[in-house]
Amino acid sequence: MKKNIHESVAGFFVLIGIILISYMSIKLGHLDLFISDSYLLYAKFQTVNGLRVGNPIEMHGITIGEVSSFSLDQENQMAVAGLKIDKEITIFADAIAGIKTAGLIGDRFVSIDPGGAEKQLANGEYIIDTVSPVDLGELIGKFAFGSIKENK
């Protein structure tokens, strides 16, 4: 009898351990097993250079979601970013999405201006007005080469 109780207690702790480990892996792996509290919008860019899955989506500087996937639109030669956005945030059809850089060489994030003059966007729809990012290195290059040429 006593042996049985000891084994049950040990089993109980092992069970708690397993539950904790699976909870942690789900949280750390950004998996949505349960009801999703966000919806998905898409945006096409010329390039998503530097943007990674999991990078934040911001509106007025506040994080409202994260980048969830990338795919290619081969017909138009564009990159399509999937944007997971919190359910309580409404975004309208005239929204503008842009890829920005935090600081001078910091991480990339998606900045959204929600718009408001047209209809509300639903799950799976596209943000049509997008601003593709500027390659800072390219700009510096242009500036440098330009100034050299002008000095000639």
Residues 62-97: b if buried by 16+ CB within 10 A, e if exposed:
eebbbbbeeeeeeeeebbbbbbbbeeeeebebbbeb
* Contact flag: residue 89 with another protein (CB under 8 A): no
By DSSP bridging, strand 78-86 and strand 96-101 are unpaired
Site string for another protein, 57-76 (x = CB under 8 A): -------------------x
Residue 19 host element (H or E): helix 2-28
Instruction: Identify the CA nearest to 91 among candidates 37, 54, 39.
Output: 39
DSSP 3-state helix, strand, coil percentages of the chain (rounded to 5)? 30, 35, 40
Residue 126 CB, shortest distance to another protein, in Å, is 7
Write the binding mask 119 to 138 for another protein: x where contact by CB under 8 A, - elsewhere: -------x-xx-xxxx----
Residue 22 CB, shortest distance to another protein, in Å, is: 41
Q: Which is nearer to another protein, 1 or 117 (CB)?
A: 117
Establish if 87 lies at the interface with another protein (CB under 8 A).
Answer: no
Q: Which stretch binds another protein (CB under 8 A): 19-27, 51-59, 62-70, 140-148?
A: 140-148
Interface with another protein by CB under 8 A: which residues?
A: 44, 46, 76-78, 92, 94, 96, 98, 113, 115-117, 126, 128-129, 131-134, 139, 142, 145-146, 149-150
